[in-house]
Amino acid sequence: MREVAEFRVDERFASMLFTDREGKRLGDSVRKVQIETSDPRFKQVGRLQRELRVKQDEPFFYGWDLKHEYSQQELQQASLFFLKSAAIFEPPGEMCGTEYDESTACPRCGAGAEQRSDLRLDLRKAPRNKDIACTIAGEWIVSQRLAERMIDEGLTGLELRRVRHHARYEDDPLDFHQVASGRKLLRKAEIAGAPHPGARFWVWLNRAENRALLDEAYAEYATSRREKARRKGKPAPVWHQLIVTSAHAEIVPPTRVGNNPFDDDPKGEGRCPLGHLIGLNRLSEVSISATTRGDVDVVSSRQFVGVRRGVLRPERLILISPKARSIIESEGLKGTTIEVAYLV
Q: Are residues 83 and 152 in the same domain?
A: yes
Answer yes or no: do 105 and 254 share one domain.
yes
pLDDT at 230: 67
Asked, as a colleague might, if the bond just before 273 is cis with ω within 30 of 0, I would say: no
Closest by Cα among 158, 135, 145 to 319: 158
Q: Residue 341 pLDDT more than 90?
A: yes
Instruction: Name the DSSP class of 127.
Output: P
How does the average pLDDT of the chain come out, rounded?
Answer: 93
Query: Measured between alpha carbons, how far is 257 from 283 in angstroms, rounded to an integer?
Result: 5
Co-location of 153 and 291 in the same domain:
yes
Give the C-alpha separation, 170 to 14, whole Å: 39
pLDDT of residue 233: 63
Same-domain status, 286 and 159: yes
Same domain, 35 and 62: yes
Report the 10 Å Cβ neighbour count for 13: 18
Task: Tell whether 148 and 208 lie within a shared domain.
Answer: no
Determine the structural domain holding residue 258 and report its residue range.
Answer: 78-166+237-343
**Per-residue confidence (pLDDT) for residue 229, from 0 to 100:** 67
Domain shared by 197 and 335, yes or no:
no
| Structure confidence by residue, pLDDT tens digits, 102-155 | 999 999 999 999 999 999 999 989 998 899 999 999 999 999 999 999 999 999
Last residue of a domain, one of 208, 232, 256: 232
Task: Compute the distance between CA of residue 281 and CA of residue 262 in angstroms, rounded to an integer.
Answer: 12
Average pLDDT over residues 49-59: 96
Give pLDDT, residue 232: 67
By percentage, how much of the chain surpasses pLDDT 90?
Answer: 77
pTM value surpassing 0.85:
no
Is the domain of 97 the same as that of 207?
no
Q: Are residues 206 and 254 in the same domain?
A: no
Helices (H), the chain: 41-56, 72-77, 144-152, 180-191, 199-205, 211-232, 322-329
Are residues 147 and 102 both part of a single domain?
yes
Domain count of the fold of the chain: 3
Q: What is the dihedral of CA 38, 43, 48, 51, to 10 degrees?
A: 170
The mean per-residue pLDDT over the stretch 23-35 comes to 95
Which of 216, 232, 248 delimits the end of a domain? 232
* Residue 282 pLDDT: 97
pLDDT confidence of 166, banded at 50, 70, 90? confident
According to the model, what pLDDT value does residue 198 have? Answer: 81
